[in-house]
Structure 1
Amino acid sequence: MTPRLDMIGLVVSDMAASLAFYRRLGLDVPAGADDQPHVEGTAPGGLRIGWDTEETIRSFDPTWTRPTGDSRRELAFLCDSPAEVDALYAELTAAGAPGHLKPWDAFWGQRYAVVLDPDGCGVSLFAPSAPAT
């Protein structure tokens, strides 16, 4: 059997805030899960996303500590259009998500923006700048 990427796991300090943020991005997160120590949702295409509280992680790894200054992790969400990148960035920042990079037309041919989730992880929003020909 060849291993396949099946789930991305996020360690969160505030489950309710994190789930609310990712629901705004369209992830199918179970209702009523905001106070659970572990939650899983499925993205379009079948990739699972899991959220664990810091306490859950410490329950089986007592040496775990919250990372600081970590910008190596980032999730990226493909949007339908450049206008959707702009609108979603505006919606998320209006709801309190810190904007990291305002929408711009990137030299690699995408409309691109970055917001931070409640734990400071970068979340890219992008769409092709021009329709494919």
Structure 2
Amino acid sequence: MNSESSTPHVTPRLDLIGIVTSDMAASLAFYRRLGLVFEAGSEEAPHVETTLPGGLRVAFDTEDTLRSFMPGWQPPADSGRLGLAFHCGTSAGVDAVYEELVAAGYRSELKPFDAPWGQRYAVVLDPDGNGADLFA
């Protein structure tokens, strides 16, 4: 008997985006500014999740949490391996969110501009160097 024919087909469904952070409180503060909601006191937790409209979840784990089950884990040498894109409604919304984040001390990677593909677009880096794309 062919084992492949007896195995039911499963179609995976994206359910969770996981982000490893070196500073939970700093990461949650950044993403709260972008509209994500986390329970009060989450800053002290080793693992934090939030559910977005539509059911997709975003989770944050501390570096120590990863090392608890992958003892040799080290952060990547370079940053920018993850980018989350946030729709800001309008071009003015992109500019306003960008200015608010930069004024709060977050690093700009790309100032707002009118992209050739028709969007107003900018990128601000989270505390771990991951890009948060702002667009409309």
Instruction: Say yes or no: TM over 0.5.
Output: yes
CA distance in 2, matches of 1:52, 1:29: 13
Q: Which residue of 1 aligns with 2:88?
A: 79
Number of aligned positions between the proteins = 127
What letter is aligned with 1:98?
R
**1:29–1:42: 8 Å Cα contact kept in structure 2?**
no
CA distance in 1, matches of 2:97, 2:51: 20
Mapping for residues 1-133 of structure 1, pairs under 5 Å: 1-127=10-136
Higher helix share: 2
- Calculate percent identity across the aligned residue pairs: 65
CA-based RMSD of the aligned residues comes to 0.9
The 4+ residue runs of structure 1 with deviation greater than 3 A are none
TM-score, normalised with respect to structure 1? 0.92
Residue 66 (structure 1) shift? 0.8
Tell me which structure has the larger Cα radius of gyration. Answer: 2
SS at match of 1:109: coil
TM-score, normalised with respect to structure 2? 0.90
